[in-house]
Chain A
């Protein structure tokens, strides 16, 4: 094996790949070839580093130099200056990595220094397409320990003792789920992995599969041993091509090394995995719909009980966990349940990965100990709200969750604290909103999504969400009444109580939580026919502020309705009656004299 003096890690997550990290890698290698450095410098494509906002990201070790937003044409300089001559290219550094002209390494950047990485331990550190690198990071040690030193019962006890709860959102105790499946009777049992991440704004499962696929494979094999299954399925949406590709490569490598298949590590235990591709339907994240889909049927939920632990895939006992849940398993086995239970809060152990998005400076993926206050995640790790705007709300738990306001910022992030406030952990999407977001519009956006994704099997979800959406459309277009608000609430509670599966039961949550915390905004839409945030087009009117207008005529020239009148160097006026609210005048005005209200 070659000893390299320098390693260049390039982010190969979906975000950075779409901003050309593959081309960047090729260009860097071409330059290294030319400079005859290719045998001294190892270039590795890793999984997601997390700080997607600043992508594509490159980290150069051993210094840990952290370059962000690099372009293909920057590679020549990085190769010539940094790798050949040892001079750091300062203008390409991540903004926080250069303080008082002192270059900081990646570990010292606040975004990373406040995180605790368990599920993401190897993401952005190893080459996900190289099983040897995973093994070097203690990979497949846990399965070896389990197979040679532990009984299936002991494994389940260890998981129970760790306090791990399902990271897919509901937070059911993982060890208990394993125990139920282990105790169920059946000639064949299955282990399944839910990688059908569908929440708008959530991408932690994708990142784990892309950055560390072996950790999921190893954990599923451990689960197979614990519950007595010889076969597993990873259900992943086809919209995640990089994750699917890396998972395939990883499964092949594990088979080649004898870590999947028959007689693993000479212990007599056999386990193998298959991938099942989903078409990217939100409802297929529901465990029973996912199972139907694996069986080759249309992905629609079925009533529970019986639970999958009793009757799952092909009617056999099935253990179904989410990607992030599995990503914690090997480390619980390697480091002990006590170690894991020492991290986090009393009832929520370990860490949780969040996908930060929306109006926040550091969009990306963060992993924090449970119990960390929302404020720390949004301001210290997330870097706060861009452009000096005011924080308004944070939506946690995706479409199934709710919006929290600034009075909730000191809430510790745990399963129970979030539920108590009418939101939830969910898979971990965290969308931040500032003063420019209209909460009614946000509720409408999420409802539009769930309405679209409803499978149509049960009436409350199929018809109910549609009716709710109609009411929200009515409100945002200025035709709503106070009775509509009451009806919206009644409908929401009815759907919650009567829908067949989680999709329908949680679909009204964004509406209910915004109604609770931002009722004044709904009332402004209904009573005053105004959108306070200036988002709902139908409720806006465009005005020219007389003091600021210089009479430059730019606005009247772009107006498609010819509804702006005024002479050169004289005050202009918008005829509100004819205005179609296209906003062209606002964009054209050089003096910021036009406002919408």
Chain B
């Protein structure tokens, strides 16, 4: 590396990665995936991987993806809660494909994908 420009590039590329360790900055969007035994056996892991991949592909920072245990509605697994702008939306019966769609629509474009939410299913 020889210039200020290079320094800036390294900074930006690494910053995205480090944001996860800074709790204030990573709290803009929070996706909490149910990873109880029920969730895992219903396929929560591919769902979580799909979310992470999609965020990475789109170069989105400020999103934390965390796991939680079973919230009691095992029949609706895999499920995750998406917190954005102080609002919580629960997505249920998810698949990797649906999850990618939610990242694109909800995280990026700010539209709740109402068809996959718990309100629609219940």
Report A's interface with B, CB cutoff 8 A.
1-7, 9, 40, 42, 61-64, 84-87, 105, 107, 125-126, 132-133, 135-141, 144, 148, 257-259, 265-266
Contact = CB atoms under 8 A, between A and B. Distances in A.
Interface in B33-89: 33, 35-37, 40, 48-49, 52-53, 55-56, 64-69
Nearest to A259: B1
B52 A3 contact: yes
A392 B74 CA distance: 58
A265 B18 contact: no
A135 B48 contact: no
A257 B64 CA distance: 31
Contacts of A62: 20-21, 23, 26, 64-66
A40 B52 contact: yes
B98 interface: no
A1 B7 contact: no
Most interface-central of A5, A141, A148 (chain B CB within 10 A): A5
Interface stretch (B9-17, B102-110, B111-119): B9-17
Contact of B3 (A7, A105, A265): A265
A556 to B, nearest CB: 59
Given A85-B40, A265-B3, A266-B2, A3 B35 contact: no
Contacts of B18: 126, 133, 136-137
Contacts of A4: 17, 20, 52
Contacts of B49: 40
19 contacts: A1-B17, A5-B20, A5-B52, A5-B66, A40-B49, A61-B23, A62-B21, A64-B23, A85-B36, A86-B33, A86-B66, A86-B68, A125-B21, A133-B18, A136-B15, A141-B7, A144-B7, A258-B2, A265-B4
A2 B55 CA distance: 11
A191 B15 CA distance: 31
Nearest to B3: A266
Contacts of B53: 3
A301 B52 CA distance: 59
B33 A135 contact: no
Nearest to A125: B21
Contacts of A133: 14, 18
Given A132-B13, A265-B4, 6 more contacts: A2-B17, A3-B16, A9-B21, A61-B20, A62-B66, A85-B36
A461 to B, nearest CB: 48
Tell me if A's interface is mostly helix, strand, loop or mixed. loop
B54 to A, nearest CB: 10
A140 B1 CA distance: 12
A136 B14 contact: yes
A62 B7 CA distance: 26
Contacts of B40: 84-85
A137 B33 CA distance: 29
A63 to B, nearest CB: 6
Interface of B: 1-4, 6-7, 10-11, 13-18, 20-21, 23, 26, 33, 35-37, 40, 48-49, 52-53, 55-56, 64-69
A63 B67 CA distance: 10
Contacts of A258: 1-2
Contacts of A6: 20, 66
Nearest to A59: B21
Contacts of B1: 257-259
A224 to B, nearest CB: 18
Nearest to A40: B52
B69 A86 contact: yes
A137 B2 CA distance: 19
Contacts of B3: 265-266
Contact of A61 (B6, B21, B67, B69): B21
B13 A87 contact: no
Nearest to B48: A5
Contact of B69 (A87, A107, A136): A87
A270 to B, nearest CB: 14
A136 B7 contact: no
Contact of A3 (B10, B17, B26, B48): B17
Given A3-B55, A40-B49, A86-B33, A140 B17 contact: no
B99 to A, nearest CB: 13
Contact of A135 (B2, B7, B36, B55): B7
A61 B27 CA distance: 12
A135 B14 contact: yes
B109 to A, nearest CB: 20
Contacts of A9: 21
A258 B1 CA distance: 6
Contacts of A148: 4
Contacts of B15: 136
Nearest to A148: B4
B7 A265 contact: yes
Contacts of B65: 5, 62
Nearest to B60: A3
Nearest to B57: A3
A85 B66 contact: no
Nearest to B14: A136
Contacts of B26: 62
A138 B15 CA distance: 9
A133 B20 CA distance: 13
A259 B6 CA distance: 11
Top 3 A-B pairs, shortest CB-CB distance: A86-B67, A3-B56, A136-B14
Contacts of A138: 11
B40 to A, nearest CB: 7
B35 to A, nearest CB: 4
Nearest to A143: B7
Nearest to B10: A135
A268 to B, nearest CB: 13
Contacts of A107: 23
Given A86-B67, A257-B1, A266-B3, A1 B13 contact: yes
Contacts of A61: 20-21, 23
A125 B17 CA distance: 12
Contacts of B14: 1, 132-133, 135-136
Nearest to A61: B21
Contacts of B21: 7, 9, 61-62, 125
A472 to B, nearest CB: 50
B102 to A, nearest CB: 16
Contacts of B17: 1-4, 42, 136
Contacts of B23: 61-62, 64, 105, 107
